Amino acid sequence: MGARERSSAGNPVRTLELLWREPGRGGPARGPKQRSTVEAVLAAAIDIADAEGLAALTMRSVAAKLGLAPMATYTYVPGKAELLDLMLDTVYRQMPRSDLAGMTWREKVSVIAAENRELLVRHPWVAYLPTTRPPLGPGVAAKYDHELQAFDGLGLSDVDMDAALTYLLGFVTSVSRIAIDTARAAADSGESDHEWWQRAAPLLERVFSADRYPLAARVGAAAGQAHDSAYSADHAYTFGLARTLDGLAALIESRSS
């Protein structure tokens, strides 16, 4: 990923102008009649990133998908850096948001985790886009406001609420990335994890010493038998979410007392 392939790497003023445009009003006002819109450019870019990853996303590839001249995309978006911000804000804005009313805080946090996990299944590239400077658009604002509801009214300070949400989303992204990488490895190699391990097993039996690495042998065998693989993203998510909730419970109880 290039140095500018992160959120907020472009012109902040132009990016914010585009992020907060009125829907359908993204095209430039001067020049000949436009053949497309900012919304169409974003839809095409998201389709490319979803199907092929960020490496395949260029201003030219977006133009080609829309049937435009190679440089025409620049009349709608200044460059790839701004395009990435707009794409991220768009998929955040389009996320389904559950009604959290009447839920316990654990249920709310679990729903927020599930919503983000589903987002990363639909748009895997989001898991690899650094967002330490998130695009401050309407999609980001709506997502942030919605997710903070899971921690509101629990006695946490505003700073603690922000940190708790960051902690939760960091866990979801980490587990999701491993799931995405596992799926990509299977697709690239044409064989499942189970098939890969079966092929590697004869060599491992010759070189791996259970006497020298007793814990690795015992625990690895148990995990492999349980998951039919070295790793289960679903198990890691379920186990990790439970531990995340337990950790947040300790924080909430300390603040309420």
- pLDDT tens, position by position, 108-163: 999 999 999 999 999 999 999 988 778 889 999 999 999 999 999 999 999 999 99
- The confidence band for 31, taking pLDDT boundaries of 50, 70 and 90, is very low
- Which residue range is the domain that position 77 belongs to? 12-93
Residue 143: other Cβ atoms inside 10 A = 22
Asked if residue 45 belongs to a domain, the reply is yes
Question: Which pLDDT does position 34 carry in this prediction?
Answer: 63
Do 81 and 105 lie in one domain? The reply is no
pLDDT at 22: 53
> CB of 95 within 8 A of CB of 119?
yes
Does a structural domain hold residue 24?
Answer: yes
Note whether 105 and 224 are same-domain residues: yes
Residues 71 and 107 in one domain: no
The overall average pLDDT reported for the chain is 88
Q: Taken in order 109, 53, 68, 12, is the CA torsion positive or negative?
A: positive
2: in domain: no
Whether the CB-CB separation of 123 and 91 falls below 8 Å is answered with yes
* Domain-embedded: residue 234: yes
Distance CA 21, CA 106 (A): 36
As for how many domains the chain has, the answer is 2
